[in-house]
Amino acid sequence: MKKSANEYDAIIIGAGIGGLVCGCYLAKAGMKVLIAEQHNKPGGYCTSFKRGEFTFDAAAHSFGGMRFGPLGKIFNELKIKEKINIYHCDPSDIIITPDLQVSFYSDINNTIKNFQEAFPNENYNIERFFNFLINSEKNISISIRKSNFSQILDSFFSSSKIKSVLSFPIFGNSGLPPSKLSAFLGLKLFKEFLLDGGYYPEGGMQNLANALVEIFKENGGELLLSSKVNKIICDGKNALGIRLLNNEQVSSKYVISNCDMRQTYLKLLGKEFIDKTFLNTIKKMSPSLSVFIIYVGLKEPFYGNYFEPGSNIWYLFDYNLDKNYFNSKKGFFNDINNLMMHIFPDRKSVTFFINASFKNKMYWTENKKVIMNLLLDKIEKLSIENISDNIKFKEAATPYTLFKYTSNYKGASFGWAGITSQLVLPGFIKNTFIDGLFMTGHWTTHGFGIPGVTYIGYETAQKIIKNFKR
Ligand SMILES: Cc1cc2nc3c(=O)[nH]c(=O)nc-3n(C[C@H](O)[C@H](O)[C@H](O)COP(=O)(O)OP(=O)(O)OC[C@H]3O[C@@H](n4cnc5c(N)ncnc54)[C@H](O)[C@@H]3O)c2cc1C
């Protein structure tokens, strides 16, 4: 039966990478699909913006997993390289502490060698650790699912310095120190972000989202921008469609939420449709930390002693990651002793990232500028000399900004916090308790970051296609 203009096989709420990948697969399978996105551009955390001559990625600024994870296979299937050039930055990540510098290279043997030079007493353990990571799929046992990442590190190393250095980029990416991060997620992150990181779409991260939109539309998909969904229509058992902010109703057999889980259940669906135990579980869950971002446009480009654009440059001024986590969580910006710097290809647009916890709009209106300047002073003292004389443009995004643009609960960077107890809970993975309602993206607790949500988008679509064909 032909569908009316206002009737779809599937509606996806949100055009983040998870929603877009899911949409591409559903549309490719011949389904009539609509994506409704609240923002005026697609991508969620994977967008870019311009300020005068400078172009910045708003949040995500590179991705990994083309070689080791399923992301490479999915991008090949979607023929994404026909739309954009993806280049590989080598080294992908550089860690700088007061007394050493180590890098993650595309060739893992170079990475191993580099770590062995920095930690000669750990020669053999470093080799064992990296071999374990490469084979981590085979090594994931039930006990690893119950362990934290510290326990993995402890089984290879005794020196606390190497443990901090190895886990610092994982801490930066997940917002959790190894003592709190699930071993399963830590291994996944290590493999996807560090052993195979540094991929970048030419022209900026927005181009990745735009390429997915093109593929989606070529397969018949429709994208509505600036269209916030404010209700999932449900008869108590089945999802029936959505209602937009302008009160327009659109019906569909499947509804897929790419937005945060609290919003999906508590606001869009409504508490009346949720089992009480499940409701309490959601209310008790903790989100991952958010980030305070400083976007800087320079008068003179970074050359010489500085690094090639594209690498994530991680500065660690205090090896105690638990203390760093505590300071970020409490908002003690005076005591922040770590940050990440990313230089864009023009060598003039630079971003700095510091983990931070959510506070309300009023707090950031009062404190954003002060905190930005305090952090820039710190950056100047600790890392880059004379940066303040070279700044032409500066702006900051707070956890509230991240929330404002994506509606992610508390501006969380990676969905739920990756602690062991929150790893995989019933109802948090793709199927929900309502027939026809699915979740996709980084709130499903299955994985996060671009590689994670790409895979979740793919998997959610496979489930729906199977069900649809039946
Ligand atoms: C500062 C920062 C830096 C990061 N850096 C990296 C990195 O370098 N590499 C990496 O791999 N990962 C990085 N990440 C993580 C990564 O960006 C995310 O895990 C991933 O992009 C999440 O994708 P998603 O599709 O699940 O959700 P999102 O990107 O959050 O997309 C959800 C979409 O849903 C929309 N939406 C929400 N509610 C509604 C509604 N009611 N109606 C309509 N639309 C709605 C939002 O506007 C948004 O577009 C970073 C995250 C942050 C915050």
Residue with tokens 């930055």: 89
Cα 201 to Cα 382: distance, rounded to the nearest angstrom: 31
| Closest of 404, 410, 374, 183 to residue 289, by C-alpha | 410
Give pLDDT, residue 1.
46
Pick the residue whose CA is nearest to atom 31 on ligand 1.
Answer: 16
Please work out whether the CB of residue 172 comes within 6 Å of at least one atom of ligand 1. no
The answer, yes or no, to whether residue 200 has pLDDT greater than 50, is yes
Query: pTM here?
Result: 0.95
Please work out whether the CB of residue 403 comes within 6 Å of at least one atom of ligand 1. no
Average pLDDT of the segment spanning 80-91: 95
Cα 33 to Cα 326: distance, rounded to the nearest angstrom: 44
Query: CB neighbours of 359 closer than 8 A, spacing ≥ 6?
Result: 331, 398, 399, 400
Q: Which atom of ligand 1 is nearest to the CA of 456?
A: 26
- DSSP conformation letters of 8-45: EEEEEE--BHHHHHHHHHHHHTT--EEEE-SSSSSBTT
- DSSP conformation letters of 346-408: TSSEEEEEEEE----HHHHHHHHHHHHHHHHHHHHHHT-TTTGGGEEEEEEE-HHHHHHHH--
Distance 407 CA to ligand 1 centre (A): 9
Sketch out the chain's domains with CATH numbers. 7-86+202-285+417-469 (3.50.50.60), 90-195 (no CATH), 290-356+360-397 (no CATH)
Q: Which atom of ligand 1 is nearest to the CA of 39?
A: 47
Cα 403 to Cα 363: distance, rounded to the nearest angstrom: 14
pLDDT in tens, 21-75: 999 999 999 999 999 999 999 999 999 999 999 999 999 999 999 987 789 999 9
Contact present, 297 and 51 (Cβ < 8 Å): yes
Distance 389 CA to ligand 1 centre (A): 34
Distance 262 CA to ligand 1 centre (A): 15
Kindly state the tokens that stand for 150: 């510290």
Give the pairing type, strands 199-201 and 222-224.
unpaired
Please work out whether the CB of residue 113 comes within 6 Å of at least one atom of ligand 1. no
Contact present, 134 and 107 (Cβ < 8 Å): no
pLDDT in tens, 137-162: 766 666 677 889 999 999 999 999 99
Give the pairing type, strands 338-343 and 349-356.
antiparallel
Give pLDDT, residue 431.
62
Chain Cα centroid distance, residue 114? 27
The answer, yes or no, to whether residue 111 has pLDDT greater than 70, is yes
Residue with tokens 């921008």: 225
